[in-house]
Amino acid sequence: MILITAAAALTFLPLQRTWWQRTDFRRLLAPRYILGLFYGAFLFYAGLADQSVTLLIAAYVPVVAVWLIIDNVVVYMTVRTFRKKEASAGAGIGILLLVASMAFFIFQPLFLADAKYDIAGGEEVTSDDLPPVNEESIPVVPRSYAEYRADIMMGQLENPAFFTLGSTRIQRVDDALYWITPIEYDDFFRWVRADNVPGFIMVSAENPREDPQLIETDMQYVPSAFFHENLERHVRMAYPDVVMLDTTFEVDTDGNPYYIVSYGHYTQFRRVADVDGIITVDPADGSMENYEAEDAPEWVNRVYPPHIAEERNEWFGMYSRGLINRYFGREGLTQPTTWSADDTVTGIVDDDLQLNWFTDHMRLTDEGEEGSRSMVGFTMFDARTGDLRYFRDASGMLNGRTAMDLAERTFRRDDYVAGTPSLYPIYGQYTWVVPLMDRNAVLREVMLVHAGDENVYGYGSTKREAFNAYQLELSTTVDDDVVPGELTDMVEEEKTIGRVYHWDREENVTVRIWFEGEDRIFTLNASSHPTAVFLEPGDDITIRYMDSGEAVQPIEEMDFDLIPVEDEEADFLEDIELDEEDPDNDQ
C-alpha cells in the first residue's frame, strides 16, 4: 500500500517543464507531492479502495487532467515570456482528458446491456422446480422485530452505552433459522475505552416466543473498530488487490463467530461486479482463511451479497431484449417490486434451509408511475452459487406490495404495519407470508395470503394458528388450482372430555382440552367459540379439526348442547314437585 501510494503521488507533480526550471515554482513541488501522499492515504487506507489497474486509472487520470489545466494556466499568467499557444496546448490536453473521462463514465453504461444481461443469467423454470419447504422452517419473525428484541437484550451488557447494534442478518444455525446481530462500538471514544466487543445476539426467525440469546465472546476485529483493528482494513492489508463486495457476520456449526467478506472483481471497467470467493475472519484474533466461491464451508449461508442479487434482478428484467428495446420497444420488460426502502430482495429458505434471495417482478413502469398490483413472475437467486431462476408461472398473481396492503387493511383498526413479505409453496399453493407489527415493531400477527386469490387468507397470533386458519380456508375454498391430497382432510369425531384448562391471555381465553383416550392436547379459542368456557370434564362433544399430527391440535368447529339456565331451574322445580307427591321419597 505504501509503495502504491508513493508511486501514485507522482501524478501530483507538474508535467509542464517550466515548473521544474524556475526556483519559485520548484518550492511548491514538495507540498504537491505531500498532497498526493495524503490523497493516496485517503483513497487506499481510509477509503479501503482496491489497488487494481482500473481503480488507479479511474482515480488518477482526472488528477493528471486537472493539474495540466492548473499548471499551464498558472505559468501563462505569471511568466510573460510563456507563449499562449503552448499554454493552450497543455491546458487543452487536460481539458480533453477530463471531458473524455466524464463522457466515458456517463455514456459507457448505455452500451453494457448485453454484458449485464449475460452475467445475470436467468433460467426460466416452473413451480415443479421449486424446492420443497418445511412448514416449521418458514421464518415469520421480521427483521425489525428481531432488531427490537436484540436492542432490549443490550441492557444486559455491563456498559451498554459503549456499544450499538450491527447489521441483523438471517442465517441457518443448528438446523434452525435465526436473526443474528453482532454488537459494535458506538463511536471512536467508546472504542478507545472498551477493550473489545462483548459478543452477539441471536433471535429466532421461526418462533417469535423463543427467548433471544446474548452470546458473550470477546471480539476485537470488527467493522466499527478503528485503525488496525478495523475489520475491512485488516483484510485490505492482507489482500490489497481484491474488490471487497460485502461484509456479513455468521456463526459456524460450533457456535464460533466469524465475519465473512465476499470479494471479487469488476468487468466492463468497474461497472459489472462478480464474486470470486470469501475471506473468513476470526474477530477474536484476526486470523483469516481464503476460499474460492465453490469451496466455501458448508456453514456459510451467503457468498453472493444481496446487492449483487438486486442489480442482477434489475438487469435480467430490463435488458432481456437489448438496449433499444429497453427505451423504445419495452417488450417483455419487468422490474423487481419494491416493498420498502430497505428491502428489494429478501432471504427465504428451502427444505434444507439453503438461503435464496427472493423478489417478485412486475411490469416495467415509468418513473413516477404507480406500480402494478400483480406480479409477472418471481426469481430465486441462490446465495451460495449465484444461480438465478425465474418462475413465470406465477404471472397474474398478487405481488408482495399488494399482499402487504391487504394485510394492513385487514387490521386497519389495530393500526398494524406489514413487514417484508415472502413467497412460499404452502399446501401446494403460492402463498405470501406477511408478518404484522404494531407501531413499536412488536410482532402481533402472522398472515398467510393466497397469491392467486386475495379473498383466501388466514392469520393468527402464532405460526401454528395462522397455518391452521389458512389450511381451513383452503379446504373450504377448493378450486381447480388446488391439488387434491395436498390439503389435510377435515376430521369429525365425538369425544369425551377428561380435563379442561382455561388460559387467560391478552383479554382472551384459550380453552385447552384433554380428551379421554387421547395423548395430545386440543385447543379452542373462546372468541370464536364462546360456549367453550362452559365445558367440563365428562361432557361429550363433537369436534371437527384439520389433523396435522401436532402435539397441540386446534379445533376448527365444535358442537356442544349447553342447557340454558332457565331449563335447568325448571327441571329442578319439577324434581321438587315429584318429591312432594311421593311421600316415600327420602329426599
523 vs 340, residue with greater confidence? 523
pLDDT over 90 at 131, yes or no? no
Residue 503, CA distances (Å) to 461, 513, 543 in order? 15, 11, 20
Nine-digit cell string for 281: 475472519
Domains and CATH numbers, the chain: 2-111 (no CATH), 119-126+308-394 (no CATH), 142-300 (no CATH), 400-476 (no CATH), 490-559 (2.40.50.1010)
Task: Give the lowest-confidence range in 88-97, 108-117, 325-334, 473-482.
Answer: 473-482
DSSP string covering 92-146: HHHHHHHHHHHHHHHHGGGG-HHHHHHHH--EEE-GGGSPP--GGG---S-HHHH
DSSP string covering 330-376: -TT-EEEPP-SSS-SSEEEE-TT--EEEEEEEEE---TTSPPPSB-S
Model pLDDT, residue 43: 94
Average pLDDT over residues 471-481: 62
Nine-digit cell string for 528: 370464536
Q: Residues for the chain: how many in total? A: 587
- Identify the band that residue 233 occupies on the pLDDT scale cut at 50, 70 and 90: very high
Strands 123-125 and 388-391 come out as parallel
Amino acid code (one letter) for 396: G
Model pLDDT, residue 478: 44
Terminal Cα-to-Cα distance of the chain (whole angstroms): 105
pLDDT over 90 at 56, yes or no? yes
Which percentage of the chain shows pLDDT scores above 70? Answer: 90
Q: pLDDT, tens digit, for every residue of 173-212?
A: 988 899 999 999 999 999 999 999 999 999 999 999 899 9
Model pLDDT, residue 370: 61
Model pLDDT, residue 587: 41
DSSP state of 515: E
Model pLDDT, residue 586: 47
Task: Give the DSSP H or E segment for 215.
Answer: strand 213-219
pLDDT over 70 at 528, yes or no? yes
Task: Give the lowest-confidence range in 257-266, 369-378, 483-492.
Answer: 483-492
Q: pLDDT, tens digit, for every residue of 86-119?
A: 888 999 999 999 999 999 999 998 889 999 999 9
360 Cα distance to chain centroid: 14
pLDDT over 60 at 487, yes or no? no
CA distance 351 to 318: 31
The burial of 184, by beta-carbon neighbours within 10 Å (0-12 exposed, 13-18 middle, 19 or more buried), is given as buried
Model pLDDT, residue 369: 63
Helical residues (DSSP H) of 167-255, grouped into ranges: 188-193, 231-238
CA distance 419 to 116: 31
Q: pLDDT, tens digit, for every residue of 503-525?
A: 775 556 778 899 998 888 888 87
CA distance 451 to 380: 17
**272-281 β-sheet, strand order:** 243-251, 257-267, 272-281, 288-292
CA distance 335 to 346: 15
- Per DSSP (E only), the strands in 115-175 are 123-125, 163-165, 169-173
Q: What residue has cell string 467508546? A: 190
Q: Which residues contact 26 (CB under 8 A, 6 or more apart)?
A: 19, 20
Model pLDDT, residue 572: 45
pLDDT over 90 at 363, yes or no? no
Task: Give the lowest-confidence range in 47-61, 176-190, 355-369, 465-479.
Answer: 465-479
**508-515 β-sheet, strand order:** 552-554, 521-525, 508-515, 490-505, 540-546, 557-559
- Identify the band that residue 571 occupies on the pLDDT scale cut at 50, 70 and 90: low
Which percentage of the chain shows pLDDT scores above 90? Answer: 57
Model pLDDT, residue 485: 40
Task: Give the DSSP H or E segment for 579.
Answer: helix 565-581
Strands 521-525 and 540-546 come out as unpaired
pTM of the model: 0.80
Q: pLDDT, tens digit, for every residue of 420-450?
A: 899 998 888 899 999 999 999 999 999 999 9
